[in-house]
Structure 1
Amino acid sequence: MPDSSTLERSRPMHSGSDLLRFWQPVMQQALFRSLLTAFSYPGQSVWLADADSAVAILATLVDAETTLSDPYQLLSDLTRTRLNAPLTDPERAGYVIARGDLDPGFSPRLGTLESPEAGATVVVIVDSLVDGEGEGQCWRLSGPGIEQSRKISVGGLDASWLSARNEWCSGFPLGVDLILTDQHRCLALPRTTVIDDTGAN
């Protein structure tokens, strides 16, 4: 298990009352448009919020009709209540929120051939996102929505995430969609995106 200092670093910086703005209709509409942009252009980071972007993502996508897993207890009790999603383990959840600095350590739901859309969306909290070369894990992306290729760098992401993600998505159309997010921005990596490791800086 992670030590208390590391866990505290990963917790949201604001209180539950500060996060209520993510449930306001105008804010949710803006967040949804930003997430659509992220999925339309894989690997392109988009601005979400001044802080706590992981909560902003879940507030937009998760509700009582979905299932959620929070294996590292990253969300406050109040946020879980507002999301109103049944909680379950990572292997069965439609949405999983996870820490990027740790080995994923779970096998998310991949969907079925009859219902590939049932594969999970995994929201991974990282330290930083850079369009191009920078600190952390450096990847080259290609596939639908990407003209030729795109390079990104992700800080605070354990190297095991790439091999895990590629294994989860190896049986296309089965697989998972990843959303990487720091405190302010996110980028989407749909299961259709091909990711090649170019090394860590």
Structure 2
Amino acid sequence: MPEPSAAAQSQTQPAGPDLLRFWHPGTQQALFRNLLKAFSYPGESVWLADTDSAVAILATLVDAETTLADPHQLLSDLTRTRLNAHLTDPERAGYVIVRGDLEPDFAPQLGSLESPETGATVVVVVNSLVDGPCWQLSGPGIRQSRRIRIGGLDGSWLNARNNWCSGFPLGVDLILTDQQHCLALPRTTLIEDTGAN
């Protein structure tokens, strides 16, 4: 198995008392507003926290009524306890947190025509939201097109994501995150690989 990336290694560190700030109501309100901004403007990098942005995302979105999969063990036991979500496998979870430098070897929930909102939200931990191969985005929330660069993301992610979202309105929503920022790729966003351009 490959060595964890720098971003993935930091996520596996014990969650100290400082991470309790993510469960403070005022902090969660600010985080939720920033996540709404990210989804309103797909591909736009949004600042979330000084560190541990993946935990900040899950602390904002996950609770006792949700299901969560952590197949790469990125969360500490203490963080899982605080999230209070029902833990399950990636094929059945409403929220999945994974390492971006590994192939997506699972089939997430895509929702149904009656309830497309039950498609999974996948939080992908990457090294960088400014370096790496270039993707071109278009669709709702994007004026003409937007280019993004993602470092530490396995090349198979693009095909997997596009396959998952090929039966719109079924599909998944991706949140890519480094240590401090995130960007959202809703299922409505069209993505093309432009390589190093």
Do residues 120 (structure 1) and 116 (structure 2) align?
A: no
Do residues 15 (structure 1) and 15 (structure 2) align?
A: yes
Do residues 24 (structure 1) and 16 (structure 2) align?
A: no
Equivalent in the alignment of 1:161: 157
Do residues 189 (structure 1) and 179 (structure 2) align?
A: no
| Number of residue equivalences | 195
Deviations 1:43-85 (A, max 9, x none): 0000000000000000000000000000000000000000000
Deviations 1:150-198 (A, max 9, x none): 0000000001000000000000000000000000000000000000000
Can you give the 5+ residue segments of structure 1 that lack an aligned partner in the other structure? none
Equivalent in the alignment of 2:89: 89
Equivalent in the alignment of 2:103: 103
Structure 1 residue 9: deviation in Å? 5.6
Equivalent in the alignment of 2:166: 170
Contact 1:38 1:187 in 2 (8 A): yes
Contact 1:16 1:76 in 2 (8 A): no
Structure 1 residue 14: deviation in Å? 6.2
Q: 1:156 to 1:111 in 2, by over 3 A?
A: same
TM-score between the two structures when normalised by the length of structure 1: 0.93
Q: Which runs of 4+ in 1 moved over 4 A?
A: none
CA–CA distance in 2 between the matches of 1:193 and 1:9? 25
CA–CA distance in 2 between the matches of 1:151 and 1:111? 28
Identity %: 77
Can you give the 5+ residue segments of structure 2 that lack an aligned partner in the other structure? none
TM-score between the two structures when normalised by the length of structure 2: 0.95
Structure 1 residue 149: deviation in Å? 0.2
Is the partner of 2:87 in helix, strand or coil? coil
**Counterpart AA for 2:90:** P
CA–CA distance in 2 between the matches of 1:81 and 1:102? 25
**Counterpart AA for 1:29:** Q
Equivalent in the alignment of 1:50: 50
Contact 2:98 2:124 in 1 (8 A): yes
Q: 1:189 to 1:8 in 2, by over 3 A?
A: closer
